[in-house]
Structure 1
Amino acid sequence: MALYRRLVPLRSLSHLHPTPAAISSVSSPLTPTRHLAYFSAEEAAAERRRRKRRLRIEPPLHLLRRDSPPRDPRLPDTTSALVGPRLSLHNHVQSLIRSGDLDGASAAARAAVSSRVHPTVFTCNAVAAFMIRAARHDDAVSLFDFFFRRSGIVPNIVSYNTLILAHCEAGRVDSAIEVYHEILAGAPFCPSAVTYRHLTKGLVAAGRIRDALDLLREMLSRGAGADSLVYNNLIAGYIDLDDWNKAFELFNELTERCLVYDGAVHATFMEGYWKQGKDKEAMDNYRSLLDRGFKMTPATCNVLLETLFKHGKHKEADDLWETMMDNHSPPTFIGINAESYNVIVNQCFKEGQLQEAIEVFHHKPRKNVQMDVGCFNNIIGKLCENGMLAEAEKLFEEMEAKSVLPDVYTYTYLVDSCFKEGRVDDTMQYFYQMADGREHGPKFNIGFFNRMLEGLTEADRIGDALNVYWRMPDKEIKPNTTTFEILVKALCKERYLDRARDLARDMARAGVVDPELREYITETFKNANRQEEIERAFEEKPVPTYRAVEENTVPPPPPGPPQTRIAYRPPIPSSPHGPSGFAVNLEQIMHHTKEKQVMVLLNCILALVDPMKRSQCQHLLSKG
């Protein structure tokens, strides 16, 4: 109440400049007098609602002008939209992408469009971007058409840039130009520097450098800043055409417009000189960059390091590396990053200096550099390739001390090397460490599972291989043709036909169709006089895989103490006629299933277990 009393003197001055609405209210005898000072919160709120309603009914006149038609009033999602169920959907799609299941990620995002939880523009962009990384450009274009043209989701500039990149990499530059004009015509934002980078690079690659130059002029005329990488695309194109005068002309224009620019331009000139055998001119160009005396970002220095190492300028590269170390003084200035270490480490391995690569990796500037998992994976992978598994395992132990979480690629390098050295037990230890470690551990992918299955079957550890296979549903990994081929051939070779039949049934229910593998299995069972049995297994209909992406909640665990949850699956007996058959974690299946999926659950359980377990399945279903 005191707040409104303080506002009264300020509002009471408004009679000195009355509004037209106030004048009309005073002049009309039919309209009651309205005071401009409010004595209660309810009265003030009612007045605000009245003004908003009036603006909706009578919009400002400038919005009705016909000479400038309004753009699409809808705006793209902001990051505040990534909350609740939409964030859970985004994380689910990202986990599928990281596991390598791009088709599953695309299907999940598409299905969410017609569900209660709609995907955000960030989820759609993530799927399309990884399609481009996998060189599936047509799929990226179809995703843009589905999400943003047919489903009504509003794209942002990243969405358009992704579509332009897909067209450019597929050689459809004209289609990319059409997308650019679509941004200018109807989007509520302007093209970004990344837009012009993709377009100029695509035009230069298509031999249309004149069109790329016109696009650069258009970028500048629209008030955009001089982007070094856009200029670099044109400079590289003119150097390839041996038009050095035009390249220098663009470089001088860039220096006038931008005093601090990306060193990639200098690296382009240096590469051009070295192609012509002009070593002196290349190094003079490099020294002209150093003479400017400004601190270069790690991205710039990394390009220069690669160029210098490529042409044998080791002394200059080492001096640049030391300068980067000296300039690194976070948070004031970041002079070196994890990618910088990758460049140096890769060069050491190229020269065969393996021990020096480890020393360089541990050599840190005065203020430490935050290493990421990619930097560790780079050196661990190269150590494993060169038979230095012990050193790789030491670096793996350092990751936990530096608070760097290993991912599936870290474990893949270690597991592959352990298989090569015959350390099968260590591979199983790494597998269970990855599968049952921390709650939010690394995401699996189908490649890791297939490598485990291949190594275990080659080592005649079929029981362990089947245990690994049964962990795939827990990690939301769908087996593919390679998975069934590895296991079924190993089982048929050892004459474990009962289990081969069960895997054939799983293959049919998973919708995996491979004529060659099916012919191989049928021939094996035909030789054992069991052809009708395997044909019935192949007649099983595909069962849809249940994924909880519609809700943001996890079903509550079944009643009982936490000890009833099974952390590890019991090992499968080596004998195919063992009494326990396939070991299945039935309580975990019940834990992740809802009542409305009872029929799907029944089909899945019957696919997972042998007839001896069906009474237990019926007991669990009766509890649900």
Structure 2
Amino acid sequence: MKEAGVSPNVVTYNSLMAGATRGHTLSKCFDMFEVMLEMGIVPDAWSYNTLIHCLFKYGQPDEAYRVFNDILLQNIYPCQTTYNIMMNGLCRNGYIKNALILFRNLERHGYIPETMTFNILINGLCKSEKWKDTMKLFEELQQSGFSPNAITYTTLMKCCFKHKHLRKGLEIFSEMKNKGYAYDLFSYCTVIGALLKSGRTQEANKYVAFMIKIGYQLDIASYNTLINMHCKAGKLENAFNLLNVAEESGLECDIYTHTILIDGLCKAGNIVDAERHINHLNSMGFYCLVAFNCFIDTLCKLGHIDYALQVFHSMDVKDSFTYSSLVHNLCKARRYRLASELLLSSIKAGLKILKSDKKAVFEGLTLTGSVKDVQTFKLKVRVAKLLNY
């Protein structure tokens, strides 16, 4: 541009700032903004929108709010996108209450929200596990004169299923279809997954049949849902046949596919094939903690605790579930000393422990050891917790 004698304008710098934001470079976004000011180019609403979005993206909500206030002080009229960026950024950074306060304040000043704004807040409320508030806002959207869209319905449906309101979730899915919105594979898989979790396999099968009937091209997420359905029903042969079909159709199975199959094999008590599948997963460069946790829990339940301990010590990464499974099963086997050592190790590692596990260890040590031993162990637990506070 310099060689051509063309002077950059506000659009030029807005584009550079947007590129810096997409390129994960907050400092460069600020640099472009400063250069624009130094050159006497007056930033517009979109300059500030980009800057606010970048700040929220990099977890600086206070700075983003300061820039938003600067817009108002400089008499630059924020646009609908500005408000949406603010509310979305606040929600994503865990400030759903602040987003709602901003929303209500704007309404009092004559701001008319659009469906996208409602969707942002509904999604934020869902993620904050405020189901009742989510449904109230949905009703408010319906009464506002704006119509919910496919995103609204899908978000609400997932929220209902997450909070175990299956009937309401199915009602929303039905309303979504009746109003003629495009419902895709994701919606169907969400419904099928929810039905499977609630044990309503026959209804899930009906949705699967309808999906196939209308000719949906299944992706790997869809295959994972179907494989999971057969695993939960104990039909492992069907699950592995689906795996073959997916691979033959050119799809690359992901870690979730293999984890579902390993979990199915474990629940069927087939530890030989489960271990073989875990080794196959490792040979492909995947390390799946969930699969290892399922395997260890199954070994314990089948009475192979010593082998479970071998697997445990061979693991590079462990979480609370790994420790909890072993502690629980060691206590059931009355091996309280070893259970206490593992419990203490998990606390020292900074992991959360279940109250039931701690209680089982304390009660076991009380039965098999002296009062002094129990008191000493309780003191060690308190010290470990304080060190990791």
In the superposition, the TM-score normalised over structure 1's length comes to 0.36
Pairing partner for 2:225 from 361, 367, 378: 378
1:338 corresponds in structure 2 to 185
1:54 corresponds in structure 2 to none
Whichever of the two has the greater Rg, that structure is 1
- Structure 1 residues 178, 388: closer, same or farther in 2, change over 3 A? same
Check the 8 A contact 1:504/1:534 in 2, yes or no: no
1:455 matched to 2:295:
no
1:487 corresponds in structure 2 to 326
1:160 corresponds in structure 2 to 56
Pairing partner for 2:68 from 181, 186, 197: 181
Structure whose residues are more often helix by fraction: 2
CA distance in 1, matches of 2:190, 2:225: 10
Pairing partner for 2:288 from 433, 441, 444: 444
CA distance in 2, matches of 1:492, 1:343: 38
Pairing partner for 1:230 from 84, 100, 117: 117
1:455 aligned partner, one-letter code: T
Check the 8 A contact 1:309/1:347 in 2, yes or no: no
- Structure 1 residues 489, 509: closer, same or farther in 2, change over 3 A? same
Superposed CA deviations along residues 212-253 of structure 1, whole A, max 9, x for unmatched, are: 374745x8xxxxxxx64237799x989946996xx44x67xx
CA distance in 2, matches of 1:478, 1:243: 47
2:281 corresponds in structure 1 to 434
Check the 8 A contact 2:201/2:229 in 1, yes or no: no
Give the CA deviation at 1:421. 3.0
Superposed CA deviations along residues 62-81 of structure 1, whole A, max 9, x for unmatched, are: 9xxxxxxxxxx999944546
- Structure 1 residues 231, 464: closer, same or farther in 2, change over 3 A? closer
2:310 corresponds in structure 1 to 467
Give the CA deviation at 1:157. 0.5
In the superposition, the TM-score normalised over structure 2's length comes to 0.53
Secondary structure of the structure 2 residue equivalent to 1:229: helix
Structure 1's unaligned 5+ residue stretches are: 1-47, 49-61, 63-72, 82-119, 123-153, 168-174, 220-226, 252-260, 269-304, 325-335, 545-624
CA distance in 2, matches of 1:488, 1:232: 44
Give the CA deviation at 1:361. 4.5
CA distance in 2, matches of 1:231, 1:416: 39
Give the CA deviation at 1:487. 1.9
CA distance in 2, matches of 1:232, 1:537: 49
1:420 corresponds in structure 2 to 267
2:244 corresponds in structure 1 to 397
Check the 8 A contact 1:381/1:413 in 2, yes or no: yes
CA distance in 1, matches of 2:384, 2:141: 63
- Once the two structures are superposed, the pairs formed by residues 93-492 of structure 1 within 5 Å of their partners are 157=53, 159-160=55-56, 178=65, 181-182=68-69, 184=71, 192=82, 194-195=84-85, 198=88, 211-212=106-107, 214=109, 216=111, 228-230=115-117, 240=139, 247-248=144-145, 262=149, 310=174, 337-342=184-189, 345=192, 352-363=202-213, 365=215, 369=217, 371-373=219-221, 375-436=222-283, 438-439=284-285, 441=286, 444-445=288-289, 447-473=290-316, 477-480=317-320, 482-491=321-330
Give the CA deviation at 1:459. 0.8
CA distance in 2, matches of 1:231, 1:538: 47
Give the CA deviation at 1:458. 0.8
CA distance in 2, matches of 1:237, 1:531: 51
CA distance in 2, matches of 1:380, 1:465: 27
Size of the aligned set, in residue pairs, is 312
Identity %: 15
CA distance in 2, matches of 1:499, 1:402: 49
Over the aligned positions, Cα root-mean-square deviation in angstroms equals 6.1
Check the 8 A contact 1:197/1:233 in 2, yes or no: yes
Secondary structure of the structure 1 residue equivalent to 2:202: coil
CA distance in 1, matches of 2:191, 2:107: 35
1:429 aligned partner, one-letter code: R
Give the CA deviation at 1:455. 2.0
2:202 aligned partner, one-letter code: G
Give the CA deviation at 1:484. 2.7
1:211 aligned partner, one-letter code: L
Q: Single out whichever of 509-518 and 459-468 deviates more from structure 2.
A: 509-518
CA distance in 1, matches of 2:83, 2:223: 32
CA distance in 2, matches of 1:210, 1:431: 54
